[in-house]
Amino acid sequence: MTSLHTLPIPRQTARPHEHAWVVDSRHPTSEGVVVYVSCTGCSAHRVDLQTHSQTPPTALSRETTGDPDAFRP
């Protein structure tokens, strides 16, 4: 079988890493403070909720990127 009849090997373009989240903006709500964060090492974004000022925020959304295919099921 020649390479004309085989599928290309998928290559991973982004290497997985531990995100370094920084706050883009925050807004008080009745549930707590909604925090919009982004990763300094890649284009990932996430929405967090901080219910109390002395506790760390919890993720309300999954990590998203600028890749439109990331939103497809």
- Model confidence at 12, pLDDT cuts 50, 70, 90, reads low
Q: Write the burial class of residue 5 (CB in 10 Å: 0-12 exposed, 13-18 middle, 19+ buried).
A: exposed
What's the pLDDT at 42? 86
Average pLDDT of the segment spanning 24-41: 94
What's the pLDDT at 25? 96
What's the pLDDT at 71? 44
Q: Tell me the whole-structure pTM to 2 decimals.
A: 0.65
52: nearest Cα among 28, 22, 70: 28
